């Protein structure tokens, strides 16, 4: 039977009603008490590393989550992180950089409704995440077909080479800026002197103003100043073609 560690960080899944609305307050022991049947699937332990609303997540807290995985890496076969939904994708992405040569599953999950609520989705989400960390679903995991797109499923199947290591260094001097009609060029002078990298959300497949407000010229100034520039699109589909 595999050993799985549940790492609790707060979020809606671990919240209770308070005078100020939902507040993270449930520790990992109480979370586990709501899914007693999972004991038949794996040997499950839990730790609480923080209890924050995920709107307050930041790089140093992400590093604490990664460190919790690293500190327990040799003792467990997989890890589940109970996390708030607002910034879950950011933390999960950070783990892919912080946890080097990862050969064990680290699964993030959360919920739209607290685990104590009547119609909560938390119990199923938590149980499913633990089962996924065990790679058990009638003896196997069924991957969504979308993973075949762009070779993602193939990437998951590649053997891991090298020893596991942790590197929690993240550069916080990054800005995400949505291009909008009438955006003023002078904001780019501030960016050039303040940030080391900027991600621009352009129009359509890469449209950026280049006449009255010549944003294209300002982007070239950033590049010449050594700022890392990434350009993407505000649109959900089709990608970008500058």
Task: Return the DSSP state at 112.
Answer: S
User: Would you say 46 and 6 are in contact if contact means Cβ atoms under 8 Å apart?
Assistant: yes
Active-site residue, 12 included: yes
107: how many CB neighbours lie within 10 A of its CB? 19
In contact, 49 and 14? CB cutoff 8 Å:
no
Beta strands in the chain (DSSP E): 3-10, 15-18, 21-24, 43-52, 78-82, 99-100, 106-109, 165-166, 174-178, 197-202, 228-233
Burial of 162 (0-12, 13-18, 19+ CB in 10 A): exposed
Options 12, 87, 109, 120, the catalytic residue: 12
The single-letter DSSP state of residue 235 is S
Q: Are 79 and 132 in contact (CB under 8 A)?
A: no
d(CA 91, CA 83): 9
Q: Which residue is associated with the tokens 């053997």?
A: 159
Q: What's the burial of 30, exposed, middle or buried (CB within 10 Å: 0-12/13-18/19+)?
A: middle
What is residue 72's three-state secondary structure? coil
Q: Catalytic amino acids? A: 12
């Amino acid at each position: 039977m595999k050993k799985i560690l549940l790492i609790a960080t707060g979020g809606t899944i671990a919240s209770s009603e308070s005078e100020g609305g939902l507040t993270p307050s449930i520790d990992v022991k109480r979370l586990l008490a709501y899914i007693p049947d999972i004991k038949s699937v794996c040997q499950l332990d839990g730790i609480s590393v923080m209890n924050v609303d995920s709107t307050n997540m930041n790089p140093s807290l992400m590093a604490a989550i990664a460190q919790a995985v690293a500190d327990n890496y040799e003792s467990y076969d997989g890890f589940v992180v109970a996390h708030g939904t607002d910034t879950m994708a950011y933390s999960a992405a950070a783990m892919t950089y912080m946890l080097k040569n990862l050969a064990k599953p680290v699964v993030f999950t959360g919920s739209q409704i607290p685990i104590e609520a009547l119609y909560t989705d938390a119990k199923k989400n938590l149980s499913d995440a633990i089962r996924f960390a065990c790679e058990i679903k009638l003896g196997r995991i069924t991957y969504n077909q979308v993973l075949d797109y762009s070779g993602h499923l193939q990437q998951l199947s590649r053997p891991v080479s090298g020893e596991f290591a942790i590197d929690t260094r993240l550069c916080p001097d990054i800005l995400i800026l949505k291009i909008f009609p009438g955006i003023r060029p002078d904001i780019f002078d501030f960016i050039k002197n303040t940030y080391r990298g900027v991600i621009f959300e352009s129009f359509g497949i890469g449209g950026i103003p280049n006449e009255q407000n010549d944003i294209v010229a300002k982007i070239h100034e950033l590049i010449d100043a050594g700022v890392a520039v990434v350009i993407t699109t505000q649109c959900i589909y089709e990608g970008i073609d500058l």
